[in-house]
Amino acid sequence: MKTSMYFGPFGGQYVPETLVPALDELETAYLESMNDSSFNEELRMLLKDYDGRPTPLYFAPRITESLGGARVYLKREDLNHTGAHKINNALGQVLLASRMGKKRIIAETGAGQHGVAVATAAALFGLECIVYMGEEDVHRQAPNVARMDLLGTKVVPVTSGTSTLKDAINEAIRDWVTNVENSFYVIGSVMGPHPYPLMVRNFQKIIGEEVRAQMLEKEGRLPDQVIACVGGGSNAMGIFHAFIQDPDVALIGVEAAGKGVDTGLHAATISGGKPGVLHGSYSYVLFDEDGQIQPAHSISAGLDYPGVGPEHSHLAATGRATYVSVTDDEAVEAFRRTCRLEGIIPALESAHALAHVYRTAAALPKETIVLVNLSGRGDKDMDTILSL
């Protein structure tokens, strides 16, 4: 390996031997691309002209007024092409795949946002694309399945194990092991074996870099708190990264508590899990005393995952970031409240971050600045909300 595989003790490469040459090849190509000005220029152009970056930093006056405490800002990742931050990483990885001469793209998806982003990027580059999706999620997220189909991607329903995101990832890894010579696996979060956690974070760190400059321009100073939801944790790492060296900026990750962390029906991996190995890295994981991975539960399909990226585990262990959790009910309440107050329909994932603000920001002094990563838009969640 050419760069460190670890964040503190977390990370590594817990994969079948067959994938080791592929991870080596990927690491080499990725590190080369980082220093390749033509790669960086092409990606910058795509993010600007195709995706619509930079996304705005928006002061939310009615949320702020209703709370009567901290000033609340939203980083509008919901305004990206395809409706979430996922496209930042999908464009980066698919561009890299294309430059490596790979003709076949594999991805997994839970809510379908990463699947749609990869399907979009694969269409843009004219590459074959296969997306694995738990059968349960195929039904829950039918509009996104239709979108991927329109974009020319083959969606494969996964019925093994618990038929959810973790099983879709298992299946994507099995496909990759089998077709490793011609395929590129586009992982959708800051998880998986090295170099994925590093690479995905670096493709997402543009969120924090933009918003840091935007905040300095608007307020002349950095925010006091940066808040983001955490499933695997890519939008959170994306916005946190630029602030890690600023000790006065509190970084707060909001996990999905589902029905409540003490009920066992949750996806709060850091709050309720232990260090273990899942999908190629050592990080916090939900598992029982025999080591069996426990199914996660969240109303938000994008947070419904029993693992979390290794860099988050490290930020939690060192205390640099704090991790809290929000229940399904609190997230739904925050979802509705944001629609009414700001005319913005947030993704249910992002609604978890907002719920933490609604819970805490009223008690903060008026000069406090709270920045929330509004990671995606909530059109995809209409069926879930209307069925409540």
Partner 1 sequence: MNGISQAFDGKKALITYITAGDPDLETTAFLLKLLDERGVDILEVGIPFSDPLADGPVIQQAGQRALKSGTTLKKLLAMLASLKEEVNAPLVLMGYMNSLMAYGLEAFAKDAAEAGVAGVIVPDLPFHQSEELAGQLRSRGVDFILMVTPNSTQERLSAIAEKASGFLYCVSLLGVTGNEEKGNAPVEEYIQRVRSCTKLPLALGFGVGTPERAKAAASVADGVIVGSALISLLEPCGADRKQIEEKATEFIGSLRAAVDSAG
- Residue 311 falls in the annotated catalytic set: no
Nearest CB to partner 1, comparing residues 188 and 280 = 280
Give me the torsion for CA of 242, 246, 249, 253, rounded to 10°: 50
Q: Which of residues 160-179 bind partner 1 (CB under 8 A)?
A: 160-161, 166-167, 170, 173-174, 177-179
Given the rule CB under 8 A, which of 9-17, 79-87, 214-222, 226-234 is the region that contacts partner 1? 9-17
Instruction: Report how far residue 168's alpha carbon sits from residue 155's, in angstroms, rounded to the nearest whole number.
Output: 11
Q: Which of residues 292-331 bind partner 1 (CB under 8 A)?
A: 292-293
Query: Would you count residue 100 as binding partner 1 (CB under 8 A)?
Result: no
Name which position in 7, 10, 12, 153 contacts partner 1 (CB under 8 A). Answer: 12
Nearest CB to partner 1, comparing residues 273 and 346 = 273
Q: From the CB of 175, what's the least distance to partner 1, in Å?
A: 9
The C-alpha angle with vertex 13 and arms to 11 and 17, in degrees rounded to 5, equals 170
Mask: binding to partner 1, 280-299, rule CB under 8 A, as x and -? x----x-xxxxxxx------
Q: Which of residues 180-219 bind partner 1 (CB under 8 A)?
A: 180-181
Nearest CB to partner 1, comparing residues 235 and 294 = 294
Please name the residues in contact with 376: beta carbons below 8 A apart, sequence gap of 6 or more.
77, 78, 83, 84, 85, 86, 113, 235, 302, 346, 347, 349, 350
Q: Are 356 and 326 in contact (CB under 8 A)?
A: yes
- Residue 65 falls in the annotated catalytic set: no
User: How many CB atoms sit inside 10 A of residue 124's CB?
Assistant: 16
Name residue, tokens 């195929």: 138
The closest of 342, 347, 120 to 228, measured between CA atoms, is 347
Query: Would you count residue 110 as binding partner 1 (CB under 8 A)?
Result: no
The closest of 56, 19, 363, 18 to 207, measured between CA atoms, is 56
- Residues 372, 203, 181, 126: is their CA dihedral positive or negative? positive
Q: Which residues are catalytic?
A: 86, 108, 375
Q: Rule CB under 8 A: which residues touch partner 1? A: 1, 12-22, 160-161, 166-167, 170, 173-174, 177-181, 275-280, 285, 287-293
